[in-house]
Structure 1
């Protein structure tokens, strides 16, 4: 028997049902929940006892779409890879202290970060890594900043981003297969592809459909051969329909999805991460010092964002009409100060679009179902994630108020009074 800890006097939301288990105690053995009991519990055998003071206990939150290593600040040039790695340590710790005990990294360099969090050297959430996301040439992952950044005969690029391999360029079925297998070699739990245009890349209009069906199917087949699935960045109906036909199981963003496409997605059984990155009005930067080229690029990206935002209501209606299962994801990246202000606030936007219960499930119990798609590539098979029950990891939040009744409580991190990950307490203001 391992060390036993007790969190007593709590009301438990298990991540699966709206019903609260009142006046309960959570028994933790090492890093797992051993049992949840009601009634009096003798405290003699426990090495630590925490009085929950009647707070609501919920599973640690999951952000299903982050980029921990994409932490460029303001208008700076591309940092060295070691700068981004060092910054990711702060980003990871901040993420954990906002109550996210698990994240799915949707592309970037997180191998060293994940390894050192898992071995206890650093503080941060559990990471389901995609490693580099895979893009076609002139796709959303082709992050060259000008047409002067070339692909050399050696296969290298005169682009720091591409040479750092935050993303991988692959054209044609053989290159896609190689890229997927390379990411699996590096320990990916799932594969991320760019299946349509994006706002932060300069040479791919939003309307583009990226990767042919054969290329997408190759990525899906290669991932499936390694026991896991593909997640895809996309916005438009054409991109979504091609991805679903190819077997993609996690559709990221989907902000321009129409009713017809919503029915196709629902019938396919795919998941949707409908991140609300265009639902808020960000403060416009000072463009007075921009060159004509910089101003052109800025205006082009802003126009893309406005186009995506203009269709979001239709996508929300389709998701709700066809009861498509959703994941809570924020697409958090960039300046850690901005991420601090927005990541939890996304609960407010999700609630406006999908309602209270669907939002809370998206950030807790739904991830337990998604993880099943990783089969033997699950990096954390020892415990359940996203639920609070026997056999789950002791990833536990104690919160003021009842998020089952109002998930917007979670937008204020001060309402999260205790954060435990694997039974280790990282915050306690009870």
Structure 2
């Protein structure tokens, strides 16, 4: 059933790609050389800026750094960065590229199609890149074709590490069926959400293996499964644990055979401890975790990919707001406790079905200011997030080092007006303060 569905959906999605690619073409080739002169550098790992220096970008990589660095070509583009900071591009480790551009009403509309989703998502991906986000980890949705459009230069957007559709048990966090939709076990039909690759419902070891392998076949860099209840789903209370240990192990086995990893949606200790026992390497959210579980994560090197969400938005219905309260309260406790215990931390936004939030992506970084120094915060959204991306090993879709300004690293760079270590709020207003945005050696905003 899953394989036949994938063949049909792939043909439809390729048709959508061909229909939307032409009007969205926007990206140039890298210049032979770009010189950032008189810049101070935040390299992604240090606690302070460098002195005034020169950074040479050749092709899509950083070729040289230092006061004596010089271009090899007389035709190099020279950018005077006096009074500005050169830093790595921002990384968001928890996005839904295909569904952050849709409201729930749009998603449920009878005329919603993959073609429309691709079009809306392409527009949002361009805006995301122009906010300075040069790489993202997509943790649920059919972003494979959007990624290919971006990588081919037909659409502007960040590099994407895709998981493919989130995999869920029946009644789990990614069981997005309308109340009138029966299980395909009884009706033989895929749900509306599965038709557009929002999620896959898989029960039992065999179905989980098939679902994971299907995502890997399509190009997943990692696998996302739902291990506990959530606040954006209708059927699962926040306290429930999802997937048996055997089912979770099936997902980990299939992913590890492809030399990549499983991340899980989970909030509370029981679901997280089961995931750790199964061999999962990353926990998304974890807002309700206790100190003992966080200490276990630190001991085993398990990542916590967290967010700093708002209590409510205008788009939320009253039931969702009420369901979300303990999650909001818990994040105020978990972030500082996880930091104190030495848990490996990553950050993301997790905007989903609320398009109005997208413009606030940078501002959501600043919501962590109570827990991190400016240097810690910049490291979190650059080099630390890049370290998590690298967990994909050979399934990493882009060769080269990200999240740092270093010789040989990929040239995903931001030129920031002023010193973000002295005034971290600068990164909250990219339109005003990011004078140059470069991705893969291409200047997408600023001097050309």
TM-score (norm 2): 0.87
Bigger helix share = 2
Tell whether the 8 Å contact from 2:56 to 2:70 is kept in structure 1 after alignment. no
Give the secondary structure class of the aligned counterpart of 1:140.
coil
Structure 2 equivalent of residue 384 of structure 1: 401
Match of 1:67 among 81, 96, 100: 96
CA RMSD of aligned residues (A): 2.0
What displacement does 1:225 show? Answer: 0.8
What displacement does 1:317 show? Answer: 3.3
What displacement does 1:259 show? Answer: 1.0
What displacement does 1:221 show? Answer: 1.5
1:14-413 equivalences under 5 Å are 14-39=43-68, 41=70, 45-70=74-99, 71-73=101-103, 75-76=105-106, 77-78=108-109, 79-151=112-184, 153=186, 155-157=188-190, 159-277=191-309, 279-283=310-314, 298-340=317-359, 342-381=360-399, 383-413=400-430
Aligned mates of 1:27, 1:148 — CA distance in 2: 57
Tell whether the 8 Å contact from 1:367 to 1:385 is kept in structure 2 after alignment. no
Give the secondary structure class of the aligned counterpart of 1:353.
coil
Structure 1 equivalent of residue 27 of structure 2: none
What displacement does 1:282 show? Answer: 2.5
What displacement does 1:149 show? Answer: 3.9
Structure 2 equivalent of residue 294 of structure 1: none
What displacement does 1:422 show? Answer: 1.0
What displacement does 1:165 show? Answer: 2.2
Aligned mates of 2:166, 2:89 — CA distance in 1: 26
TM-score (norm 1): 0.91
Aligned mates of 2:436, 2:162 — CA distance in 1: 26
Structure 1 window deviating more from structure 2 (299-308 vs 83-92): it is 299-308
Tell whether the 8 Å contact from 1:328 to 1:359 is kept in structure 2 after alignment. no
Aligned mates of 2:217, 2:147 — CA distance in 1: 15
Aligned mates of 1:230, 1:120 — CA distance in 2: 29
Question: What's the CA shift string for 1:212-246, capped at 9, x where partnerless?
Answer: 11111111121111011111111111111111221
Tell whether the 8 Å contact from 2:311 to 2:325 is kept in structure 1 after alignment. no
Aligned mates of 1:89, 1:406 — CA distance in 2: 32
Tell whether the 8 Å contact from 2:61 to 2:409 is kept in structure 1 after alignment. yes
Question: What's the CA shift string for 1:8-38, capped at 9, x where partnerless?
Answer: 1111111111132221111111111111122
Residues 280 and 412 of structure 1: is their aligned pair in 2 closer, same or farther, counting only changes over 3 Å?
farther
Aligned mates of 1:201, 1:337 — CA distance in 2: 20
Tell whether the 8 Å contact from 1:109 to 1:131 is kept in structure 2 after alignment. yes
What displacement does 1:90 show? Answer: 0.7
Aligned mates of 1:335, 1:47 — CA distance in 2: 42
Aligned mates of 1:395, 1:41 — CA distance in 2: 20
Q: Which runs of 5+ in 2 are unaligned?
A: 1-30
